[in-house]
Amino acid sequence: MTADSYGTVLPNGIRLTFIPAAKFKTISMALFIHQELSADKATLTALLPSVLERGSRLYPDNMALRRALEELYGAELSTDVHKKGERHLLSCSLEMIHGKYVGEGEQMLRRGLSILGGIMGDPLVVDGGFKEEYVAQEKEQLANLIRGLINDKALYAVERCLQIMCARERYGVFKYGRLEDLERISPASLWRYYREILSANPAELYVVGDLEARQVEAAAREAIYFHRGPQRDGLPETEVYVEPSEVSFVEERLPVEQAKLVMGYRTNIAYRDPLYIALVVYNGILGGFPHSKLFLNVREKASLAYYVYSRLERHKGILLISAGIDGSKYEQVRQIIEQQVEAMAHGQISDVELENTRRGLINQLRAGEDNPYQFINRQLDGEVGGRHYTIDELIRGIEEVGPEEIKAAAEKIRLDTVYLLQGEERTMPHGH
Amino acid sequence: MAIKSRHSVREFSELQEKLFCYTIYPGMPLYVLPKPGYQKKYAIFAAHFGSIDNRFRVDGTGEELILPEGVAHFLEHKLFEDERGNVFDRFAAYGASSNAFTSFTYTGYLFSTTDHFPECLELLLDFVQEPYFTEETVSKEQGIIGQEIRMYEDDPEWRVYFDLMQSLYHRHPVREDIAGTVESIARITPELLYHCYRRFYHPGNMALFVAGDVDPEQVRRQVEENIARRNYRELGEIVRLQPNEPATVARQRITREMVVSEPLFNLGFKDPAVTRLEGDALLRRESAMEIMLDMIFAPSEPLFNELYEDTLIDDRFNAGYTAEKSYAFVLIGGETRDPEQLYERIMEAIARAKRVGFSAEQFERHRRDRLGSFMRRFNSLEFIANNYLAYLFRGTDLFNYPAVLRQITLEEVQLLLEEVLVPERHAVSIILPKKS
């Protein structure tokens, strides 16, 4: 079912994975550099994507780069940082129309890859540092991004819950870093930091599209040419196994119309653990779908929320439950949620719930094969999680997982932190 | 019953796609786009009934009905439930994921699945055509939608947008939140829902789009049989009444305070001329407007870079154009530390563009960018299906976009700049950080 992928290592040590897929109109490519997530490095890592995008030797300013992308039939470039467990990933990806649809040949692939390679591997360096004005402006932009977390209240509540829950773990670090670090970062120190991780940290390149392996490899060798030195041996592992001593409850107030409740659980199950697939099914039954216990009981039966779901931070072994509620109904909502979690622990799962969840999960996995970036993301999960599951392996696992294993997963799950973002007054029948 | 459906096959040779088009008695368009190699199959069944369809005339009687805000959206929620319970669960039994949405102009019910496609399609056709509303289920939904409305009330981007709509429009229902208000949805009853359902959920006012690795003829037969057994009669005319909306804006400026880190800024220009346009002419105006906005505001042009370097905008700053049958507007905006300065700089840039004009190089570059970006999106079944229907309901054809784009001239874009981006028809909406 899965297209055969082709893997090789480029001369500079970057691993290339190519996935042939004739059904897509596009060629998609992404380069990732892995770094550990840590408080003292996160802001540096987070500042890099936008500084790199601002200027490379090939495209020294944003206008030059944007025009090149437009000439490439509206290619879409995106740089960002991602958090997967206690791993921080720097990414640069590019998607463009396949040349055959616009009367262009193979040079499209080369041009796309050379933009990607130029941004990540051949940045604009002036007097031993990144360009000063770019760094200053991007520091300002990053500061806005950090301060802007508050603008999306649901995201803010989830992030606050994780910060409180993981205050003594690296996972508590925000992926965009901290405001107070920005001042100390200079164009030279940022460049020194980048040179080091570019040279020594694990890095991967992915290409998906209707192409031949040899042409992808040849183009990648040409475009991703930057020099790398000796590789560092491994990045530190994510701390997954944590037994909370007691449940912490934190309530914060803001003048908002809707309260947000976030409950953080420790699952003590890592991505590569034997119970991982049982945990995925557990999460599906509890709150991953509109047929799940949470949606059914909190929304459909009690009419207490528009959104309520659970989701896994799969590389950290954390399960989060999140709901937007009327602040005055907090106790009632929490009680219904805890009843559902308890029912799971007692193995109160109907055959229908189990079967529907299995089918839903398998459907999601298969549908993911129709999206180039979901395909890439699954490969990346394998890299970070220390275990590569094939699609068939996951599907078989989901089909075979039984009530006993789900119960075994459920018994490991402990509530750690409850976070409530509350409005300023408890009852606001008609807003302000 | 032997009712022959009309059909045709459209070749979209550039993208190597084929679209099978049918008309199912009594008057429902069905489109099937085969996507060999795709695991996912996607279907969307849509009613041409959106939040702006809040006033209409009932056939024959001359009676005029005005709906409370939020009815189309409420109806969307309520079709997901019948006497056997919740429809999500029945899709879940096939592993399918189902959903629905309501826009200003239409309501769409959809699913995607990798297995049991015919069963899912049957379920979609059945639940949308079998309404079940009671006092009890309506009252339960008022609680859920109440929380949905509260959620949007805390969303600064949603608020700044609707504040702008309220400023651009005096009376047009595009001013109102799609979900309505807690007060307006309290006025919704089962009778009202049935009444609207009978008006708007007739095959003659609906359309179905299926995309994925499917056999078009099989889909056609299945849809035909499902619709035929319901004994529809031909649909009488639905007369949608729009208020007489002046060409001017309702007010020039609105400011609100919310919990945000930085001010949000939206600048709109109302385009009243669009109501005179139909079909490709509407599509052409939209495409030309987009290129015109790109030539002033795109990240490849000087203005964006000057504003960015002065930290007045971030990379989400955007300018876009929306055109429907009864309204159209330009929207420019994003987050900014200084809305007043940003406003001045944008207005200056527009004036400068009028003086200096655009170059042929710029024009061709943006045309190429738009064409490639459009083609790229044909990876997505959802993009194709949802947009095909959105275009259909406003009388345009998604697949004509590349041809229309190629016809546009630099001269017409320059004329549009003079016509649309005029100070008399602009309004500004701003959200300021609330001081605590």
Name the domain count of chain B: 2
- Contact: A366, B147; criterion CB under 8 Å: no
Tokens of B81: 């439930």
Strand order in the sheet with B206-212: B6-12, B17-24, B28-34, B206-212, B41-47, B107-113, B97-102
pLDDT band at residue A427, thresholds of 50, 70 and 90?
very low
- Whether residues B265 and B229 fall in one domain: no
Please give, rounded to a whole number of angstroms, the shortest distance from the CA of B72 to a CA of chain A.
17
pLDDT band at residue A349, thresholds of 50, 70 and 90?
very high
Q: What is the per-residue pLDDT for B234?
A: 80
Q: Which domain holds residue B333?
A: 253-433
- Whether residues B413 and B274 fall in one domain: yes
Task: Label residue A77 left, alpha or beta by phi (over 0 means left) and psi (-120 to 50 means alpha).
Answer: beta
Pairing of strands A76-84, B64-66: unpaired
How would CATH label the architecture of A248-422? 2-Layer Sandwich (3.30)
In whole angstroms, what is the distance from residue A265 CA to residue A272 CA?
19
Last residue of a domain, one of B200, B216, B240: B240
In whole angstroms, what is the distance from residue A62 CA to residue A133 CA?
13
B102 touches A at CB < 8 Å: no
Contacts of B50 (CB under 8 A, 6+ apart): B72, B102, B103, B104, B105, B106, B107, B178
- Whether residues B231 and B99 fall in one domain: yes
Q: What is the pLDDT along chain B (436 residues), one digit of tens a residue?
A: 445 567 899 999 889 999 999 999 999 999 999 999 999 999 999 999 999 999 988 776 778 889 999 999 999 999 999 998 889 999 999 999 999 999 999 999 999 999 999 999 999 999 999 999 999 999 999 999 999 999 999 999 999 999 999 999 999 999 999 999 999 999 999 999 999 999 899 999 999 999 999 999 999 999 999 999 999 988 778 888 988 999 999 999 999 999 999 999 999 999 999 889 999 999 999 999 999 999 999 999 999 999 999 999 999 999 999 999 999 999 999 999 999 999 999 999 999 999 999 999 999 999 999 999 999 999 999 999 999 999 999 999 999 999 999 999 999 999 999 999 999 999 999 999 998 6
- Whether residues B327 and B407 fall in one domain: yes
Tokens of A389: 């599951």
Separation in Å, CA B328 to CA B70, B155, B174, B268, B412:
21, 23, 10, 10, 18
The pair phi, psi for residue A203, each rounded to 5°, is -145, 145
Q: What is the per-residue pLDDT for A106?
A: 84
Contacts of B209 (CB under 8 A, 6+ apart): B30, B31, B32, B33, B43, B44, B46, B384, B385, B386, B388, B389
A52 touches B at CB < 8 Å: no
Contacts of A265 (CB under 8 A, 6+ apart): A318, A319, A320, A321, A341, A413, A414, A415, A416
A167 touches B at CB < 8 Å: no
Residues 6-35, chain B: which have Cβ within 8 Å of A?
14-16, 35
Q: Residue B1 domain-assigned? A: no
Q: Residue B245 domain-assigned? A: no
Pairing of strands A203-209, A15-20: parallel
The boundaries of every CATH 3.30.830.10 domain in chain A are 6-223, 248-422
Using a 10 angstrom Cβ sphere, with 0-12 exposed, 13-18 middle and 19 or more buried, the burial of residue A297 is middle
Closest CB to A363 among B114, B143, B381: B114
Q: What are the pLDDT digits (tens) for A151-167?
A: 999 999 999 999 999 99
Closest CB to B309 among A137, A153, A326: A137
Which of A96, A138, A359, A364 is the mutation pick for testing B, counting most B CBs within 10 A? Answer: A359
Rounded to 10 deg, the angle between the A62-71 and B360-376 helix axes is 60
The answer to whether residues B269 and B350 touch, using CB atoms and an 8 Å cutoff, is no
Q: What is the per-residue pLDDT for B45?
A: 98
Q: What are the pLDDT digits (tens) for B187-239?
A: 999 999 999 999 899 999 999 999 999 999 999 999 999 999 999 988 778 88
Closest CB to B372 among A97, A254, A324: A97
Task: Label residue A301 left, alpha or beta by phi (over 0 means left) and psi (-120 to 50 means alpha).
Answer: alpha
- Whether residues B277 and B230 fall in one domain: no
- Whether residues B315 and B209 fall in one domain: no
- Chain A residue with CA closest to B153: the answer is A257
Please say whether the dihedral angle defined by the alpha carbons of residues A293, A298, A302 and A306, taken in this order, is positive or negative.
negative
Pairing of strands B426-433, B28-34: unpaired
- Whether residues B282 and B332 fall in one domain: yes
How would CATH label the architecture of A6-223? 2-Layer Sandwich (3.30)
B255 touches A at CB < 8 Å: no
Last residue of a domain, one of B219, B240, B261: B240
A63 touches B at CB < 8 Å: yes
- Whether residues B65 and B202 fall in one domain: yes
Comparing C-alpha atoms, which of A229, A223, A234, A188 is closest to residue A36? A234
Closest CB to B259 among A141, A255, A367: A255
A22 touches B at CB < 8 Å: yes
The answer to whether residues A48 and A194 touch, using CB atoms and an 8 Å cutoff, is yes
Mean residue pLDDT across chain A: 95
ipTM: 0.94
- Contact: B92, A258; criterion CB under 8 Å: no
Q: Which residues in chain B are contacts of A22 at CB distance < 8 A?
A: 37
- Chain A residue with CA closest to B143: the answer is A303
Q: Which residues in chain A are contacts of B182 at CB distance < 8 A?
A: 430
Q: What are the pLDDT digits (tens) for A213-228?
A: 999 999 999 999 899 9
In whole angstroms, what is the distance from residue B326 CA to residue A339 CA?
50
Which CATH number is B47's domain given? 3.30.830.10
- Whether residues B235 and B337 fall in one domain: no
Last residue of a domain, one of B206, B240, B274: B240
In whole angstroms, what is the distance from residue B185 CA to residue B179 CA?
8
- Whether residues B271 and B137 fall in one domain: no
The single-letter DSSP state of residue A351 is H
- Contact: A71, B365; criterion CB under 8 Å: yes
A75 touches B at CB < 8 Å: yes
Residue count (chain A): 432
pLDDT band at residue A256, thresholds of 50, 70 and 90?
very high
- Contact: A73, B368; criterion CB under 8 Å: yes
- Whether residues B16 and B121 fall in one domain: yes
Comparing C-alpha atoms, which of B51, B46, B48 is closest to residue B68? B51
In whole angstroms, what is the distance from residue B145 CA to residue A76 CA?
36
Pairing of strands B6-12, B17-24: antiparallel
Q: Residue B248 domain-assigned? A: no
